[in-house]
Chains A and B, each alone.
Chain A
Amino acid sequence: MDPSTPQLSRALADAALVQRIADRRPEALSDLYDRYSPMLLALANRILGGQAEAEDVVQETLLQVWHKASSYDPARSSVSTWLVLLARSRSIDRLRTRKVGERTATAAHAETPRTHTSPRGPDDVLSRERQERVQRELEALPAEQRQVLELAFYGGLTQAEIAEQTGTPLGTVKTRTLLAMKKLRAALREEIRELL
């Protein structure tokens, strides 16, 4: 392993892990679970606002990976992002089955629930650095830009729905979203490069 590019090595290791899962190796699924379940659980919990339901989402997501690992296309996304999209999709599907009012309260305005940090292994020093970096960059966004981004990503709301919910003109919502995304991408350029 090249110590200068630990994240890059991790991205490659992730891809190899998915390949082994496609070869029906349960221990590879176990490794993927160890590596990503705390982050996926935090994501589902942020969207759904309850750990029990969030755990169901994580189980369904990783079971989907177990069944569909061969469909993973590294040209489309990194393993990390693929898992995030799968878990987000399942969480938002569940969210949409709830009442609109409940969804609004849970996804958009609820504070991030109290969480329990999982035990950290040696690899997780890098994860913690990445967490701090992403947190910093998100916090650096103007509040109104961060709000539309979180409503779109965690709430699964369309631009029109965000405009309606926040009482903001649609054009303003789009402008804020585009600005937020461009800033985020620019700020996380290095991290994204490591995943590609």
Chain B
Amino acid sequence: MSEERVEREDQAIMLALEMGAGKATAPAARGTGDEAVETMVRLYTEALGMMPHALDPIAPSAGLKGRLMLAAAGDETQEVKSSLVQRSMTAALQVPPPPATKSRQRPPTQPVASPASITRQASRWPLRLAATLAVGLLGLSGWLAWQVQEQNGEIARLRTEARQAKEAGQELVRMREAMRSLEGNVALASSASVLVCPLRTAVGAPSGLSTVGMRAVLYVATDHQHWFFTARGLKESPKGQDYQLWFVANGRPVSGGTFSLKPGEVAHLSSATMPAGTTAVSVTLEHQGGSVLPAGPQVLYGDQMQQVL
């Protein structure tokens, strides 16, 4: 291959690459005047034009075709309208002169347009009107389909938002209740003459259920009825088991409720009633849901009620 041909081919490649690369008009589009180069530009342009065929085709959204046809139909209607206006103006300019003038300008022997040709001209109007209406209807149907799709999408979005708002409302109610309970417990724990009973790891408790920083306390109000229990640092409750709080009153255990924990969680239990004669508090590990009487291993125990304020 001659050097000159190589140079021409290289030139053709660069021209092909420039074609369609934005608004700049490529020189090839204007013609190089060199037929051989232009032929090569064509071949390389076609090679480049093949590149997008390697991409996975993408299905357009359902409304795209409708929008396109609507836009095209809208333009067509505009063109027909302007054509009609132009024809009307032309017709107005070609209005024949009054009969008296006409009789002077046109001899009586001049042929007059036949009724058939007048009918043919007149008959084109309904066809054009029908064509315009058909195009308009096509566009309108596309537009309506697009509208329906848009509205369905909007309805789905609103439903999702409504569901999320409802869930957020329910969460807010739960949080308010938790806040109220917490406020009550804090008021109890900080009230004057509150009794405090610290719980410690029980003798013989299974190893590994409490951490080094474990802290459990029972707060009892002065009425000896309202109480609030909190435990921090207890390990996650084993699978299928719950922790259960017991009040030891008159030598008999009375359940104060159960709780389960996940890693890092703090236990909170509270109530407005407490067995009379409570002298000690204990936490045992029971089967899930709790037991009527303590059956599992004792984890925490406390019997030192103190008044700290």
Contacts and interface: CB of A to CB of B under 8 A. Distances in A.
Contacts of B46: 77-78, 81, 192, 195-196
Nearest to A40: B52
B20 A86 contact: yes
Contacts of A106: none
A185 B44 contact: yes
A96 B57 CA distance: 24
Contact of A182 (B13, B53, B56): B13
A144 B93 CA distance: 68
A46 B47 CA distance: 18
Interface residues of B, number: 44
B23 interface: yes
Main SS at interface, chain A: helix
Contact of A116 (B19, B22, B53, B59): B59
Contacts of B23: 89, 93
A137 to B, nearest CB: 8
Given A85-B20, A115-B58, A118-B58, A39 B53 contact: yes
Contacts of A188: 47, 50
29 contacts: A33-B68, A39-B55, A39-B57, A41-B59, A45-B58, A58-B60, A59-B68, A76-B29, A76-B45, A77-B45, A81-B50, A84-B51, A88-B20, A89-B22, A89-B23, A92-B22, A117-B56, A118-B57, A118-B58, A118-B59, A130-B53, A131-B55, A131-B57, A134-B51, A156-B21, A159-B14, A181-B13, A184-B48, A188-B47
Interface of A: 24, 26, 29-30, 33, 37-43, 45-46, 51, 54-55, 58-59, 62-63, 66-67, 76-78, 80-81, 84-86, 88-89, 92-93, 96, 112, 115-119, 127, 130-131, 134-135, 138, 149, 152-153, 156, 159, 177-178, 181-182, 184-185, 188, 191-192, 195-196
